[in-house]
Amino acid sequence: MKQHGILEIGPAIDCNKSEADRRLRQCAQAGLFSHAVDPVFGGLGDGFAGMCKDFEQLGVTTRDPGLILAVNAHIWGAIFPLLRFGSETQKTALLPKLIKGELLAGHAITEPQAGSDAQAMLVSAVTTPKGFRLNGCKRFITNTPIADLLVVYAKHEGAISAFLVRSDDSGVTFADGPSVQGCATASMGDVLLADCTLPADRLLGKVGAGNMMIHLALELERAFIFSAIAGVMQWQLKEVVAFAKKRQVKGKPLSDYQAISHKIAEMKLRLESVRLWVGKCADHCDRKKRITVESAATKWYASEAFLNSSLDAVHILGAHGLEGEHVALVQDAMAGRLFSGSTEVQKNIIASMLGM
Ligand SMILES: Cc1cc2nc3c(=O)[nH]c(=O)nc-3n(C[C@H](O)[C@H](O)[C@H](O)COP(=O)(O)OP(=O)(O)OC[C@H]3O[C@@H](n4cnc5c(N)ncnc54)[C@H](O)[C@@H]3O)c2cc1C
pLDDT per position as a tens digit, 172-205: 999 999 988 999 999 999 999 999 999 999 999 9
Nearest to residue 302, comparing CAs of 325, 277, 331? 277
Strand partners, 214: none
Question: Which segment of 12-16, 18-22, 132-136 scores lowest on mean pLDDT?
Answer: 12-16
**Closest ligand 1 atom to the C-alpha of 66?**
1
pLDDT of residue 2: 63
Task: Write the single-letter amino acid at 214.
Answer: I
Q: What is the homologous superfamily of the domain 106-208 according to CATH?
A: Butyryl-CoA Dehydrogenase, subunit A, domain 2 (2.40.110.10)
Judge if the beta carbon of residue 182 lies within 6 A of ligand 1. Answer: yes
Please, what is the average pLDDT of the chain? 96
Longest dimension (CA), the chain: 80
Confidence of residue 14 (pLDDT cuts 50, 70, 90): confident
Contact 25, 147 (CB under 8 A): no
**Closest ligand 1 atom to the C-alpha of 186?**
1
**Given a cut of 70, is residue 242 above it in pLDDT?**
yes
Distance 54 CA to ligand 1 centre (A): 28
> Residue 61 phi/psi, 5° resolution?
-80, -30
112-162 per-position pLDDT tens digit = 999 999 999 999 999 999 999 999 999 999 999 999 999 999 999 999 999
283-308 per-position pLDDT tens digit = 999 999 999 999 999 999 999 999 99
pLDDT of residue 275: 98
305-356 per-position pLDDT tens digit = 999 999 999 999 999 999 889 999 999 999 999 999 999 999 999 999 999 9
Domain spans of the chain, in order of start: 3-104, 106-208, 211-353
Fold agreement between 106-208 and 211-353: no
Query: What CATH number does the domain located at 3-104 have?
Result: 1.10.540.10
Mutational pocket test of ligand 1: of 119, 215, 342, 349, the residue with most ligand atoms within 8 Å of the beta carbon: 342
pLDDT of residue 3: 66
**Given a cut of 60, is residue 167 above it in pLDDT?**
yes
Judge if the beta carbon of residue 141 lies within 6 A of ligand 1. Answer: yes
Judge if the beta carbon of residue 47 lies within 6 A of ligand 1. Answer: no
CATH class given for the domain over 211-353: mainly alpha
Name the residue at shortest CA distance from atom 37 of ligand 1: 116
Count CB-CB contacts under 10 A for residue 324: 9
Which residue is catalytic, options 56, 111, 219, 221?
A: 221
Angle, CA of 267, 272 and 276, to the nearest 5°: 145
Mutational pocket test of ligand 1: of 144, 338, 345, the residue with most ligand atoms within 8 Å of the beta carbon: 338
Nearest to residue 75, comparing CAs of 92, 53, 51, 93? 51
Nearest to residue 111, comparing CAs of 177, 44, 209? 177
Per-residue buried b or exposed e for 56-76, using 16+ beta carbons within 10 Å of the residue's own CB: bbbbbbbbbbbbbbbbbbbbb
- Model-wide pTM > 0.95: yes
pLDDT of residue 1: 53
Specify the pairing of strand 131-142 against strand 172-176.
unpaired
Nearest to residue 64, comparing CAs of 225, 221, 220, 172? 225
Length of the chain as a residue count: 356
Instruction: Report CA-CA distances (Å) from 351 to 37, 120, 284.
Output: 32, 22, 20
Taking the C-alpha atoms of residue 63 and residue 56, their distance in angstroms, rounded to an integer, is: 10
Whether 221 is catalytic is: yes
Taking the C-alpha atoms of residue 109 and residue 48, their distance in angstroms, rounded to an integer, is: 25
Distance 130 CA to ligand 1 centre (A): 35
